[in-house]
Amino acid sequence: MRNPQLNGDGTLQHLLTIEGLPREVVVHILDTAASFIGVTEREVKKVPLLRGKSVFNLFFEPSTRTRTTFEIAAKRLSADVINLNIAASSSTKGETLLDTVDNLSAMHADMFVVRHSSSGAAHLIASHVASHVHVINAGDGRHAHPTQGLLDIYTIRHYKKDFARLSVAIVGDVLHSRVARSLIHALTTLGAPDVRVIGPRTLLPTGVEQLGVSVHHDMREGLAGCDVVMMLRLQNERMKGPLLPSAQEFFKSYGLTSAKLALAKPDAIVMHPGPMNRGVEIDSSVADGPHSVILPQVTFGIAVRMAVMSILAGN
């Protein structure tokens, strides 16, 4: 089956998931992002690539960081940005997703950035819009959050340079995490040899090994000698039923403390997609400590989203 996010000539038409993206497309995005880092340090932090284009941020699910960084990225590319918080709008009046999209397309949208609680929402929109319109998935249900996965590997590449001998541990609520899924696909695409997922049985998806990762239930064992620790947010709002005894209990087994981090390599970096639950999945001393690259992740996220938008708009 044809990859719905690629054009006939193998270039990117939409960004829906990292799964199945050719390695060279991923590397092109990362390299382009590196060039945008310089732009954000200049007197004028804008380039004219998307001048005259309209980018619609369609957020059917609340988000501050992702929506804001997409907005900043689009503005630094000189696009006009329209933010729509749909949760408080048409869908509550009964309009369907595709009717909303049709109406916005009639307002000459060039790009949609879509966040939705249903897996596949961005795919549905991508298969519906006209051929000059581009769609970026900004998180769909438990499925994928590709720009987050890309900014995560951008961050890893920035600090670790090479993926060839890298050990990466992903810790916590993998079951509900589209961030984890996107990062795993990105890491395997770039050839990271050792990716570990760490968490309680109830929060790891069955068959996760099939993604090419090793599974650990003991956090100390899983962290031993790793280069990168990616902590996931405990997604209270997605939790259904008694998957966990309590947040305190979770912190004891799977919270990242300085003592547990000491088991990783001395120069290990600690990442978190945000927003953090301090004292639930990560201790403040680690979140604010010298190994933490959580705030640089946010800054890199702008450059990565600029890269994705400009590559899509040019294809």
For other proteins, the closer of residues 38 and 94 by Cβ is: 38
Which H or E run includes 215?
strand 214-216
Which residue is listed with tokens 């049709």?
A: 102
For other proteins, the closer of residues 11 and 89 by Cβ is: 11
Could you say which of 47, 98, 124, 247 contacts other proteins (CB under 8 A)? 47
Regarding 39 and contact with other proteins (CB under 8 A), the answer is: yes
Q: How many residues bind other proteins (CB under 8 A)?
A: 21
Count of other CB atoms within 10 angstroms of residue 184: 25
Where in the sequence numbering do the catalytic residues fall? 65-66, 93, 115, 145
Could you say which of 6, 40, 46, 128 contacts other proteins (CB under 8 A)? 46
The whole-angstrom separation of Cα 160 and Cα 71 is 29
Q: Give the gyration radius of the chain's Cα atoms.
A: 19
CB 6 within 8 A of CB 13: yes
> In the chain, count of helices (H) and strands (E)?
11, 9
Contacts to other proteins from residues 48-107, by CB under 8 A: 48-49
Q: How far apart are CB 48 and other proteins at their closest, in Å?
A: 6
Regarding 7 and contact with other proteins (CB under 8 A), the answer is: no
Regarding 31 and contact with other proteins (CB under 8 A), the answer is: yes
Could you say which of 3, 4, 25, 32 contacts other proteins (CB under 8 A)? 32
Which residues make beta-bridge pairs with 112? 56, 135
For other proteins, the closer of residues 25 and 124 by Cβ is: 25
Regarding 34 and contact with other proteins (CB under 8 A), the answer is: yes
The whole-angstrom separation of Cα 129 and Cα 147 is 21
